[in-house]
Amino acid sequence: MTLKTNEYFYHITAKTIKDQWLEADMPKVWNAACQSLSLAAHECEVLISQFVLMSNHYHLTLRTPKSNIDYFMFLYTDYFNFLLEKDSFNHKFHWSLIKNSKQFQQVFTYIYQNPVSAKIAFKSHDYLYSTYHYTYNHLKLPFPLCRLKHFENNLQESKYDLFLSQVDERIAIEHI
């Protein structure tokens, strides 16, 4: 059972069915994921703050002002599978609540360093299938991304941009 809340962000992970690698080419899978996020987020009015798509799973942080996480995940998964014309994900997902800025900073770093840890990107911002690639390079995302005001409150505005630009350095320091 999922704890439904509108107070905190969720960190969500989901694996592909039987942990299979996504067989379609990644640009096609990324486009399907982004379209699905856009459609489900619009219908459920959720606030997405991060998304990283890997070959057999994804990471997502979001907030649900209407406490409708289960419905959002159901829609997102159905849209995604429909667009790929294949059942790649079932409706199972794992979640944890992010209750403070320290946790958010840890989750933020963990999610964006995933491609680096998997040795498929040298720097977090180089990985094409991540919202960080878009924000770091000032590219337009195909779905709205919310600003992290509760996270930013503990960082002065100028320091927030510096934090974003130093994610890779933070990852390197934390893994020494």
- The per-residue pLDDT for range 83-133, each reduced to its tens digit, is 988 878 777 899 999 888 788 888 988 999 999 999 999 999 999 999 999
Q: Of 77, 94, 92, 69, which is closest to residue 32 (Cα–Cα)?
A: 77
Residues forming a β-bridge with 61: 11, 50
Token pair, residue 83, equals 């667009």
Cα separation, 61 vs 96, in Å, equals 10
Query: Mind listing the pLDDT tens digit for each residue in 141-169?
Result: 888 888 665 454 544 444 555 555 555 55
Query: In the chain, where are the structural domains located?
Result: 9-174
Q: Are 23 and 87 in contact (CB under 8 A)?
A: no
The answer to whether 63 and 146 have CB atoms below 8 angstroms apart is: yes
The per-residue DSSP string of 46-96 comes to -EEEEEEE-SSEEEEEEE-TTS-HHHHHHHHHHHHHHHHTS----S--EEE
pTM over 0.95: no
Residue 5 CA to residue 132 CA, distance in Å, equals 26
Structure tokens, 46: 């959720």
Q: Which CATH superfamily is domain 9-174 in?
A: Transposase IS200-like (3.30.70.1290)
